Amino acid sequence: MGQNHERELAFDIWDWTLPCQQLSLFQQWSKDLKRAGFNVMEITAPWSKLEPRPHQYDFSFVSQRLAITKKLGMYLRVRINTYYASAMPAWLKCNLWCDHTGKVVMPIPSINDDRFWECFLPLCTMLARQFHNEPVQFSPFIGVHGELKWSDWWSYDPASVNKWRQSISIPRPAWLKRIAGNANLPQQPPVLPNHTNGEPDLSPSHRAFIAFREHSWRGAVYRFVQAIREGNPRAFISVPLGEGYRSASATMSNSDYFGLSRGANHIVHSYDFFWHAKDPAWHAAASVAALQGITGLPVSFEIDGPILQEKFGYTDAQILRVLGAALAEGAHLKIANYSYSDKLPSEHRLVTEAAKIAQNVTTSRRTDSANTVLLFVSKWTNYCYREQTEWLHDAQFGAWHMLTQHGYPVRVVCEDNLQENLRDYKGIYVAFSPMETLPLEDRKRLEEVAAILPSVVEVVNTPHARNDRGYTVQTPSGEIPVTHNDLPILPIDISSLGKQWTYLATLGSTRLIAHREKRAVIGFPLAFLWLRHKKTPALVHFVEWLFQRTLG
């Protein structure tokens, strides 16, 4: 946190709620939180107050609250509120985000409209300059839901459509060419299908639009970071990222953990509790591990407010178990959305208990790369498969659970990490990521890494959608299942690997498991099946047998 290494315990207070609006109440809440062990107060600061007229700045909203937190020895994290609760200045003239019909969904400035940036960037620079050498951190507040996190974001406003048309003209920029080449692309940005029913969507226009959205997001964060650093080169910047690698990731184009965090010092992870009411706590640990492994940055794990108990049926004990798993993986703590309450933070048992756990939990042991297994999870596979269930998430992150349960330290990586030197790692497990869904240059890099390191690779080629039959195969450890009712795909034949491989399991004439020295290729999502059948002795023994002969 900041320049020191203590565990961050952060608490946010929104500018449209009374504890942020009333200074006396803000002071009371800050003191209460300090006593409970918190060391970061996060506020939103409305643009309309910071810049009531163009280029006329008033930073008293921040300085008054900083005076309180500074006296208490706490950091103040400031997220500039660009639009929510009438925060957008009345004088700002720019496109607002709209859906594909042209309807403005919310009054949100378009991140593809240069007029927005011409006004917003000087504000960021002046704010950072004003609080140079102060215990202040900065966080972007751009986009739908005010964060770079889960929520549909639209890109059909005139400025976005214009930039799309500029991007698809030939010669194309490298970021687009690597995804769509010179394929014919429509002048109007497409609308992505909601689900793909077990078959990946490989449409060049759909993939290009996802890449365009990623590029727009990356550019927005980069411009924010550069503007802050212009005002203070040593500024501490935190980016709020949600949970990608989910069934609707393509709609958000939000699995770009690496790109959305470039130039930042830290991530606040808005784990989507709304999805996870019935999920085990390891999901949170895996989510933290993915962000840490892909970005290389520290992560604060965000707990949502009382709505979790009131609307989604969580108990305090359940939330604290989830938090404990995230903290043990190395996360810091962030608590959100309590400033709507009339109670002081410490009057909520969950807040005080979470603080105690965060102050006392022991982080899992870290080891060097020579003892760490890489887990590759393709973000582009997630963009291509858009399902009505979360089977793909379980196939990919079930591999994290499987590996860690077998005692392997794991670093999660994706396409953006393949340009690193990964040769010194213990091995690599490629979770369900059919090569056809990856950009060509990433396929080549992944194949090179998997050929150099001890490796287990699932489902190299794209499988067909499953019919209603269930299949099992005989392995050296006994008969194991290779399909499941929750899995919408069939096993895939791997005979094309060649005669230098030893084939260990066949289904009729279809070969499904191949082994060669310290390498294995599997024609079905092993991790998904392990997750569903962890108590099936033959499958448990097969995974142990496989790991002994590959990862060691």
Smallest Cα–Cα separation from 112: which of 42, 167, 168, 187?
167
Per-residue pLDDT of the chain in tens (552 residues, 90 and over written 9): 544 457 899 999 999 999 999 999 999 999 999 999 999 999 999 999 999 999 999 999 999 999 999 999 999 999 999 999 999 999 999 999 999 999 998 889 999 999 999 999 999 999 999 999 999 999 998 887 777 876 777 899 999 999 999 999 999 999 999 999 999 999 999 999 888 888 999 999 999 999 999 999 999 999 999 999 999 999 999 999 999 998 888 888 889 999 999 999 999 999 989 888 889 999 999 999 999 999 999 999 999 999 999 999 999 999 999 999 999 999 999 999 999 999 999 999 999 999 999 999 877 666 799 999 999 999 999 999 988 889 999 999 999 999 999 999 999 999 999 999 999 999 999 999 999 999 999 999 999 999 999 999 999 999 998 877 788 899 888 999 999 999 999 999 999 998 899 999 888 888 999 999 999 999 999 999 999 988 889 999 999 999 999 999
Does the domain at 369-550 match CATH 3.40.640.10? Answer given as no
Query: CA-CA distance, 210 to 249, in Å (whole number)?
Result: 10
Largest CA distance in the chain: 76
Smallest Cα–Cα separation from 491: which of 518, 526, 444?
526
User: Residues spanned by CATH 3.20.20.80 within the chain?
Assistant: 9-93+108-149+216-360
Smallest Cα–Cα separation from 139: which of 320, 305, 12, 252?
12
CA separation (Å) from 518 to 10, 97, 295, 383, 401?
45, 51, 28, 31, 21
User: Residues spanned by CATH 3.40.50.880 within the chain?
Assistant: 369-550
CA separation (Å) from 33 to 3, 11, 317, 344, 424?
21, 8, 21, 9, 44
Query: CA-CA distance, 259 to 283, in Å (whole number)?
Result: 23
* CATH topology (fold) of 9-93+108-149+216-360: TIM Barrel (3.20.20)
The per-residue DSSP string of 26-85 comes to: HHHHHHHHHHHT--EEEEEEEHHHH-SBTTB---HHHHHHHHHHHHTT-EEEEEEESSTT
